[in-house]
Structure 1
Amino acid sequence: MSDETQSLYQLIGHERLQQTVNLFYTSVLKDPLLQPLFGDGHPTHVEHLTAFLAEVFGGPPRYTDELGGFATILKAHRGLNITDEQRARFIELFDLAMVRTGLGNDDTIRMTLNEYLSFGTEVAQINSFATTDAELHPCQEVPRWP
């Protein structure tokens, strides 16, 4: 299989994706702006976020098939009232984790991840303020990102 037909998930690899999510999550729990959204943390969050991102980028659909799918992530975000500052900080900390794991060294991978994070945090932010289903973001499933 050539690089042209490989998914981003295949290019990154599960281990490096999970390592990036782990570094990101550790930094979030220490960050005064984001920690209130995550509380004291949850033992399965790294596994779940890794599975979600793996599915987004062309990996196995484990998040949808085994971990509750989009309804689970929607439920986690509703009522959080995510601010623009928190959204930007989320992307910034993920970007720093990418740099630390070497994903940030590949401009194409970094740009694609940042494009998705911008979209994904927009979905989360809109859904975090929704008081009715009609106010939810139109994306209501785990997206597949190019």
Structure 2
Amino acid sequence: MTSLYEHAGGDEGLHRLEELFYDKVLADPVLRGVFPERRPHHVEHLTWFTAESFGGPGRFTAELGFAHIIDAHRGLRITDEQRARFEELYLEAAEEAGLPADQPFRTAVRSHVEFGSRVAQQNSHAETDEQLHPLRSVPEWQWPKE
């Protein structure tokens, strides 16, 4: 079976998604506290993370390591409103990026961003390592079960 990474169009498709998404969050007043300014390499790192999670190359783990994403979210204190807006903008960006619109793929994308935003939110409120979400590696996302 084709991986989610291949179905999305590989790095090219995922980079298009992440670039559109990043532009959206930077301009969004609800997410201003989470994304206050454009950071170099952020789109690239988002692309690496999604690519690896969807069955593509393991660059995120090799180049940055999962601790990078934990550290990036610590102290942000992401609200439920911000988490929901993040998910909404991500799904809008997937549509605008021209990613495949078939239901199984879109279900996988939705579940991926919902899970990831919940992990990020939990980690953003953690004051100790014990309060962090137990996930310590890039999750391997799969096609939804029929």
Q: Same fold (TM over 0.5)?
A: yes
In the superposition, the TM-score normalised over structure 2's length comes to: 0.93
Q: Show the counterpart of 1:27.
A: 24
Cα drift, residue 121 of structure 1: 0.6
Q: Show the counterpart of 1:107.
A: 103
- 1:7 corresponds to which of 3, 12, 22: 3
Is structure 2 residue 108 aligned with structure 1 residue 116?
no
CA contact (8 A) 2:66 2:138 kept: yes
Structure 1 residue identity aligned to 2:21: F
Is structure 2 residue 61 aligned with structure 1 residue 64?
yes
In the superposition, the TM-score normalised over structure 1's length comes to: 0.93
Q: Show the counterpart of 1:136.
A: 132
CA contact (8 A) 1:126 1:137 kept: yes
- 2:70 corresponds to which of 69, 74, 85: 74
Is structure 2 residue 52 aligned with structure 1 residue 55?
yes
* Moved >3 Å (runs of 4+): none
Structure 1 residue identity aligned to 2:30: L
Q: Percent identity?
A: 52
CA RMSD of aligned residues (A): 1.0
Cα drift, residue 106 of structure 1: 2.0
CA contact (8 A) 1:95 1:104 kept: no
Counterpart Cα distance in 2 of 1:32 and 1:136: 27
Q: Show the counterpart of 2:89.
A: 93
Structure 1 residue identity aligned to 2:111: E
Total equivalences in the alignment: 141
Counterpart Cα distance in 1 of 2:22 and 2:100: 17
Counterpart Cα distance in 1 of 2:15 and 2:67: 22
Structure 2 residue identity aligned to 1:22: E
Structure 2 residue identity aligned to 1:82: I
Structure 2: which 5+ runs fail to align?
none
Counterpart Cα distance in 2 of 1:19 and 1:106: 18
Structure 1: which 5+ runs fail to align?
none
